[in-house]
């Protein structure tokens, strides 16, 4: 079973969101990184770019496929994980830590509350495996 931390929020597209003050850190879930296999490249927007909830903001590439990344919230990119340029495998090694992808200053921080909690995401993942 994939690891699903209780303190995060999730999307049906397998992104996670962690509220850190007025900024929300985004990455892909343990389930997503395992399904992708070895991550070989992460494409991200530039700091200052605007993103809209549900819109594609980047991609994660593995030998198996390229998967779009969908913004869980609307806002402005305030940080990108530059370590992923040289070490994209961090997404596989530590999906919820060193493998984070971007940080977004939310247009509406309360919008994170509309995302799935850990139990709802676990049920979603379980439904995919059956």
Domains of the chain: 9-108 (2.40.50.100)
**Which among 17, 10, 67 is positioned nearest to 43, based on CA atoms?**
67
Q: Give the pLDDT confidence score for residue 130 in this predicted structure.
A: 66
Could you list the mean pLDDT of each consecutive 10-residue stretch along the chain, which spans 130 residues? 90 96 95 95 96 96 94 97 96 97 94 95 89
Q: Write the Ramachandran bin of 104: left for phi over 0, alpha for psi from -120 to 50, otherwise beta.
A: beta
Q: Which residues pair with 17 in a beta bridge?
A: 9, 26
The first and second tokens of residue 11, run together, are 């999307």
Q: Give the pLDDT confidence score for residue 123 in this predicted structure.
A: 96
């Amino acid at each position: 079973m994939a690891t699903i931390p209780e303190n995060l929020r999730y999307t049906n597209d397998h992104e996670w969101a962690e509220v850190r003050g007025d900024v929300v850190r985004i990455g892909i879930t343990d389930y997503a990184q395992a399904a992708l296999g070895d991550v070989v490249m992460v494409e991200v927007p530039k700091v200052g770019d605007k993103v809209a909830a549900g819109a594609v903001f980047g991609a994660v590439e593995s030998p198996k496929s390229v998967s779009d990344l969908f913004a869980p919230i609307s806002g402005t990119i305030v940080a990108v994980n530059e370590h992923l340029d040289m070490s994209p495998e961090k997404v596989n090694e530590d999906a919820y830590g060193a493998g984070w992808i971007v940080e977004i200053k939310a247009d509406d921080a309360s919008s994170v509350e509309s995302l799935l909690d850990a139990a709802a995401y676990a049920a979603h993942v379980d439904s995919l495996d059956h």
